Structure 1
Amino acid sequence: GTTLSTPIHEAAMSEALENFPYWPDIPPLYDIHRTWKENIEAGPRFRKPYPERPEGPMESFLGFSLRSTLGVAAGPLLDSRWIHCASRLGFDILTYKTISAQPRASHPLPNIVYLDIDGQLSNTPDPLHVTRADIPPTYIEQLAITNSFGNPSMDSSFLRDDIARARACLLDGQMLVVSVFGTGESPDALADAYCEAAHIALQGGAHAIEANLSCPNVKASEGALYQSPTAVLALSSALHREIGSAPLILKMGAFADCQVHREVFAAAVEGSAQAISGINTLQREIRTSEGDFALGSQRPTGGVCGNPIRAAALDFIAQSRHIIRSEKLPLSLIGVGGMTLPEHFDAALDAGADSVQCATGMMWDPYLAARYHQRKEALDYV
């Protein structure tokens, strides 16, 4: 109905939303000056009260009944303490940061640097490089960062126990996804490594497994797994045999070629995957304003996250939805990439996503989900 006049409605909504402070008035949850290990030890930097949650109808996703299909993508939720925090902040699909069967060290600092990028990046590698910002942006809408960690992982005994703790701290209407990754010299060794990681995740109580096929921070031969229909079929088939009835999600990057996009999705279905998540980051050379490599000479490139990748993400979502619909594929679609404001979630859902997740947006604005839920309640009320 339209009984409430817009000005009153907008005023009421903005008044409610003003209760939540914005970055830079509150620090990011993740301390970019500390290592990945130190951030695990310290836990998320959140010292504010958790937001109250409006009651709403339950939503169905991958066979689970959820309070919403809003989630956190693989990355920020380093362990069970981070999962606990995100679950209380209003995110309902919680992805445990990518694990491997063998422990892996993180890249040295810096892992995250602010970037000076105006506007949106395309999903083709142009421009080839982006520049490190000397000072953080003023507003979250301008937020652009690198994500250069190299898929670090704790050891399997820690992971088993901690994933169980993460599962135990979920609220009703929430689900735990664990992102898995592996390396191997042959296709069989690669599949075994992914399956071993998935086995650990399931032992800990993961509801669903997300296979990270898109990580651009390891050597290129592994980074492009998602672009190979053969690799996608082999890996998803092996994982399906390992995890049985647990839903399998495949994390992908952007596609420059429509035909490859189509073939990969067909391979995913043939391999019994139930959902696709995308995009990951956009890979670029990261330079300083003087032209040097900002992450050190050993790491010329890094993944770009935050605001500048949203157009590529929305493109991926729309194109994926078109393929799923036209080929009648039984796939759910998770939209990720550059979602830093509540209205970005709406844009992703409108483009065809069944679920929307954020990573950078959540780290810099812990209240992002709360803002979305409140906004949705206010709009539904009108």
Structure 2
Amino acid sequence: MDMSVDFAGLKLKNPILTASGTFGFGLEFKRFGELEKLGGIIVKGLSIKPREGNPMPRLAETPCGMLNAIGIQNPGVEAFLKSKLPKLPVKDLPVLANLYATDAQEFGELAGMLAEEEGVAALEVNVSCPNVKEGGIAFGQDPAQITKVAKAVKKNSGKKPVIIKLSPNVTDITVCAKAAEDGGADGLSLINTLSGMAVDIKSRKPRLANVIGGLSGPAVKPVALRCVHQVVNAVDLPVMGLGGITTAEDAAEFLLVGAKAVQIGTANFISPDTAFKIVEELPGVLKAAGAKSLEEFTGSLILPE
């Protein structure tokens, strides 16, 4: 079965990518599989200047999931371009940069720094990170800000596709999707983490130093599927689905509801070879489901009359 996908102009050999923040810069996972077999990787969130992130503890396991409040720790975009990107097999693997900033102008500036980098295939824009204190979640909850950020990034992105990553922590995610579309986005990825917290009854303290973090893992999959279903029926942009995917069957569910591609996230922490396994197993899963082709299966959900 031909598993190739065209996503907003990105030529992917298959629809399986790895989610930002869960796969490092890709180099850390080379011993678990051949990176070139993946559809693509989305590197750890990048800011213009290095960020130390939030204080410890910043991870907490929860039933069927995980809370994180890393705070976009990263070495900065210049260090990434100098010491990380040159080591990746960019000729055989689409590498997507994930952008984090605190205002539209800064997002635009960051996009401009990456626009001419041949090794960067596309830009994923994080307007919805709930793990930082300076406004990340506000962007994802304000349609006007989403449009503003999308316009700023698109204006400075050159020929690179711009993908806006949406937050589920809103009343109506389709409004946010339409706002990104209005801003000129080429595609969408959803969902980012759900806002949550955990506490320790013995110490009577939060289990995260940041108190609130982002919930991910299998627990969020039903929410993610619902969001993807709603968004693909509300806008004309292609959608990457993510949230709780741990198996090829999970990936197939997102494709069925209309996602053109998927991202593997928290599962990488549980089993570092998960994305590689899903690439191998997905064709068989689709055939067993009676799919004639990936294209025919994608978005073929049969709804009640």
Q: 1:87–1:94: 8 Å Cα contact kept in structure 2? A: no
CA contact (8 A) 1:80 1:165 kept: no
2:101 alignment partner in structure 1: 182
DSSP-derived class of the 2:43 partner: strand
1:364, distance to aligned residue in structure 2 (A): 1.7
Corresponding residue of 2:215 = 304
Tell me: CA distance 1:103–1:379, structure 2 relative to 1, closer, same or farther (3 Å).
Answer: closer
Quick one: distance in 2 between partners of 1:206 and 1:346? 27
The C-alpha deviation readout for 1:189-221, integer Å capped at 9, x for no partner, is x12211222233335431100110110012274
Change (3 A) 1:229 1:307: same
Q: Which has the larger Rg?
A: 1
Q: Which residue of 1 aligns with 2:297?
A: none
| Residues 79 and 162, structure 1, Cα contact 8 Å, conserved in 2 | no
Of 271, 287, 297, the residue aligned with 2:183 is 271
8 A Cα contact 1:86 1:94, kept in partner: no
State the secondary structure of the residue aligned to 2:184. Answer: coil
Closer/same/farther in 2, CA of residues 113 and 68 from structure 1, 3 Å limit: same
Number of the residue aligned with 1:169:
89
Instruction: Supply the RMSD in Å over aligned alpha carbons.
Output: 2.3
Aligned equivalent of 2:70 = 149
**8 A contact 2:53–2:73 mirrored in 1:** yes
Conserved? CA contact 1:215–1:223, under 8 Å: yes
Q: Are the structure 2 counterparts of residues 58 and 162 from structure 1 closer, same or farther at C-alpha, using a change threshold of 3 Å? A: same
Matched position secondary structure for 1:114: strand
| Aligned: 1:230 with 2:144 | yes
Does the 8 A contact of 1:84 with 1:169 survive in 2? no
Aligned partner of 1:61: which letter? F
Q: Quick one: distance in 1 between partners of 2:120 and 2:52?
A: 23
Which of the residues 109, 131, 137 maps onto 2:56?
Answer: 109
Tell me the residue number matched to 1:285: 197
- Cα deviation, residue 373, structure 1: 3.2
Instruction: Give the Cα separation in 2 of the matches to 1:66 and 1:305.
Output: 25
Q: What is the match of residue 16 of structure 2?
A: 70
1:297-336 equivalent positions in 2, closer than 5 A: 299-324=210-235, 329=236, 331-336=237-242
User: TM-score when scaled to structure 1?
Assistant: 0.69
Task: For residues 65-117 of structure 1, give each alpha carbon's deviation from its aligned partner in whole angstroms, at most 9, with x where no partner exists.
Answer: 221011111112323523756771543221011100011112222222212x2
How far apart are residue 159 of structure 1 and its match? 1.8
Look up the equivalent residue of 1:311 and give its one-letter code: P
Q: Report the AA paired with residue 315 of structure 1.
A: R
Pair 1:60–1:300, CA change in 2 (3 A): same
Deviations 1:3-39 (A, max 9, x none): xxxxxxxxxxxxxxxxxxxxxxxxxxxxxxxxxxxxx
| Cα shift at 1:380 | 6.0
Structure 1 unaligned spans of 5+: 1-54, 118-141, 184-189
Matched, 1:195 2:108: yes
- Give the number of equivalent residue pairs: 285
Output the CA distance in 1 between the equivalents of 2:230 and 2:24: 31
On the 8 A contact 1:84/1:170 being kept in 2, the answer is no
Q: Name the CA distance, whole Å, in 2 between partners of 1:78 and 1:113.
A: 19
CA 94–145 in structure 1, closer or farther in 2 if over 3 Å, else same: same
TM-score, L = length of structure 2? 0.85
Distance 2:282 2:15 in 1: 13
Give the secondary structure class of the aligned counterpart of 1:230: helix
Who is 1:186 aligned against?
none
Amino acid at match of 2:241: G
| DSSP-derived class of the 1:273 partner | coil
1:248 aligns with 2:162: yes
Deviation for aligned residue 1:360: 0.8
More moved, 209-218 vs 106-115: 106-115
Counterpart residue number, 1:97? 44
SS across alignment from 2:262: strand
Aligned residue identity for 2:138:
A
Aligned residue type for 1:285: M
Identity of matched residues, %: 24
**Structure 1's 368 and 56: CA in aligned 2 closer, same or farther, altered over 3 A?**
farther
